[in-house]
Amino acid sequence: DIVMTQSPLSLPVTPGEPASISCRSSQSLLHSSGHIFLDWYLQKPGQSPQLLIYMGSNRASGVPDRFSGSGSGTDFTLKISRVEADDVGVYYCMQTLQTRTFGQGTKVEIK
């Protein structure tokens, strides 16, 4: 199994400031197609998860452009350029190269 490790597990943020979450995989997520097989999801309090980013860096429909995904090989990052109060929740990365596995989640909360 591909193990996904996120850091930090808890991230206090200040509205208007940037934030960054790291996700590392135990194997490269580079597919033979040349694309990265990694998604990012946000689970807001009391809600189901929602898709933010797919294929490493593609924003899902309706996702604000303050969210961006990057990375290669085994190291990936989700960045929020300017955090808003509505961005609180738990962020998960998930690899899709093999049987899908999620990271532990990073809880983002307002300071």
Q: Which parts of this chain interact with other proteins (CB under 8 A)?
A: 1, 31, 33, 35, 37, 39, 41, 43, 48-51, 54-55, 58, 60-61, 92, 94, 96, 99-105
Contact by Cβ (8 Å): 25, 76: yes
CB of 17 to other proteins, least distance (A): 26
Contact by Cβ (8 Å): 50, 41: yes
Question: Which amino acid makes up residue 55?
Answer: M
CB of 65 to other proteins, least distance (A): 17
CB of 4 to other proteins, least distance (A): 10
Closest CA to 3 of 93, 73, 103: 103
